Structure 1
Amino acid sequence: MHLPRYDHYTNASKTIFEFVSEGPKGRIRKLVEYVPVDANDIYNLGFGDASESEVLYDDMIVSNNGDSVKVLATVAATVYEFTDRYPKAAVLATGSTRSRTRLYRMSITRHLREIRERFVIFGYCRSNYWEEFNKEKDYEVFLLTRIENRKELWLELKTINLIIKTAE
């Protein structure tokens, strides 16, 4: 995406990314983590303020640092970098709250044309099924992969449904 974003740093495996949000509340360390959820190249995208505890990040903190567009653009940049390293990966993402999930949906909608140049994106509906992302609908979870993986991902969606139902 061609939006301002923060410089970020990553580990050697490109599964953890770190950057610093800068705004009225100061400098806030942020982490993005990609965690495998099964053996079929499906990863959960976790994101939040860096934590000094055993948990790497806290996804419930509301920073309100005035830079949400730049922060989301930085997170999106990590998706591109992660899928460059793991081209078969499918990335699951949802907000830690309904309002955050809604924010993510609005951002996806705003940049859908550009996203679709490289990725196919699906939304998980409340009625327990996946469909290709429709900007007119609300979703609980988003799933994206590179366009060339579309057919394989469709075959995996039943497995992914089981993962989501188990997590509920």
Structure 2
Amino acid sequence: MNKPKYLCRSGKSLFVFKFTSKGSKGLVEKIIEYTATDSDNIYNLGFGDYDPLNDTMNDLTITDNGDSNKVLATVASTVYTFTDEYPSAMILFTGSTPARTRLYRMAITINLAEISQDFVIFGYSNDRNWEEFVVNKSYHAFLVTRRENEYTL
């Protein structure tokens, strides 16, 4: 995505990314983790504030640092990086709260034309089915895969 984003740090495997949010509340360490699921080639994307003392992620904290668009663009950039390394990967994500899931849906909607050039996006709907993403429809979770994979669910 061609949006301002933070520089991320990652190890060779690209399963963990860290960056620092800079805003009205100061410097806040963030972490993005890709975790394998029980399904082949499906990875859960986890994201939140990083606690270096405990080496843990908190995905319920509301940082309110005034840079949410830049933070979301940074998270999205790691999806590109991760799927460059693992092109058959499907990335599963949802918000830790309904409000965050709605925020992700709105971000997808705003950037859909750009995202759709490289990815196919699916939403898990209220009737418990995966479908290709529909603007203004509520979803419980999202799944993205590189367009060249063209999975159907």
Q: Give % identity.
A: 52
- Post-superposition Cα deviations, 1:17-45, rounded to whole Å, max 9, x if no partner, equal 00000011110000000000025110000
After TM superposition, give the deviation of residue 136 of structure 1 in Å: 2.2
Number of the residue aligned with 1:162: none
1:161 counterpart residue number: none
Unaligned runs of 5+ in 2: none
Structure 1 counterpart of 2:125, which letter? C
Shift in Å, 1:103? 0.4
Structure 1's unaligned 5+ residue stretches are 158-168
Alpha-carbon distance in structure 2 between the residues aligned to 1:70 and 1:111: 13
1:96 aligns with 2:93: no
What root-mean-square deviation, in Å, do the aligned CA atoms of Structure 1 and Structure 2 show?
1.1
Runs (4 or more) in structure 1 with deviation over 3 Å come to 52-55
- Secondary structure of the 1:83 match is helix
CA distance in 1, matches of 2:139, 2:53: 31
Is 2:47 the counterpart of 1:47?
A: yes
Say whether residues 1:8 and 2:3 are aligned partners.
no
State the TM-score, normalizing by the size of structure 2: 0.96
Q: What's the CA shift string for 1:45-82, capped at 9, x where partnerless?
A: 00000023656310000000000000000000000000
Secondary structure of residue in 2 paired with 1:126: coil
Tell me the SS of whatever aligns to 2:71.
helix
Query: Larger helix proportion, structure 1 or 2?
Result: 1
Q: Normalising by the residue count of structure 1, what TM-score does the alignment of the two structures yield?
A: 0.88
Secondary structure of 1:77 counterpart: helix
Aligned residue number for residue 165 of structure 1:
none
In 2, Cα distance between equivalents of 1:137 and 1:6: 30
